[in-house]
Structure formats: structure tokens, C-alpha cells
Structure 1
């Protein structure tokens, strides 16, 4: 083989190897990005559940407070009568 054809063959082999390596690296990054997306979604879902639980707790406490306030007002009105 001539020196020019050997050089062309080596260059094309190196270029092919670089392209294959770049594609593999890109696929790994994409896979990692997808995995972190799933983890973030799960964290958001857990946070949403926690927020809903806290909201329900606050609603229950507000109802209890209003009932106690109404009860105290009724007792105060009955004492005044």
C-alpha cells in the first residue's frame, strides 16, 4: 500500500473510533439525564403528597379552632342571657 492510502485508512479508522466513542458518551449522558429526571419527578410527587397532607392537617385544625371559637361564643352568649 502506498503511504497516502495508509494515511487515509488510519485517519478514517481514527475518525470512526472517535465517532463511536462520542455516540457512546452521548448515550450515557442521555441515560443519566433521564434517570435524574425520574428521581426529580419522584421527589416532586413525594413533596406534593406531603404538601397535601399538611394542607389537610391545617384544614382540620382550622375547623377545630372555629368549632371551639363558636362554642366559646355560645357559652359567652348563654352566660349573658
Structure 2
């Protein structure tokens, strides 16, 4: 095998190995990014749930207060 053929074969092998390494690295980075997205979605859902529970509790308190005021008005009449 000539020197030029050996150099070409070596360059092709190095190039192929580099591409394979890059693809594996890119897949790992993408996988981590997707996992972070899932974690972010879970945190967002938990935050929204807490906000909704707080709003619901406020509505319950306001409803009780309104019923109490209505009862007082009805008893005064």
C-alpha cells in the first residue's frame, strides 16, 4: 500500500471517528437538555398548582365572608 493510500485511509478513519464522537456528544447534550425541560415543566406545574390552591382558598374565604355579611343583613331586616 502506498504512503498516499495509508494517509488517506488514516484521515478517513480519524474523520469517521470524529463524527461518531461528535454525534454521541450531541446526543448526550440533547438528552440532558430534554431532561432539564421535564424538570422545568414539573416545577411549573407545581408552582401553578400552589397558586391555584392559594386562589381557591381566597375564594373560599371571601365566600364565607359574603355569606356571613348576607346573614347579618337578613337578620337585621
TM-score, shorter chain, exceeding 0.5:
yes
For 2:50, the equivalent position in structure 1 comes to 50
The secondary structure found in structure 2 opposite 1:47 is helix
Residue-by-residue CA offset, 1:21-76 (whole Å, 9 max, x unaligned): 11001110111011011101111211121122112101111112212322343455
* TM-score, length-scaled by structure 1: 0.81
4+ residue segments displaced more than 6 Å: none
For 1:3, the equivalent position in structure 2 comes to 3
Number of residue equivalences: 77
Structure with the greater alpha carbon radius of gyration = 1
Which runs of 5 or more residues in structure 1 are unaligned?
none
After superposing the two structures, state which structure 1 stretch, 4-13 or 67-76, moved more.
67-76
Which runs of 5 or more residues in structure 2 are unaligned?
none
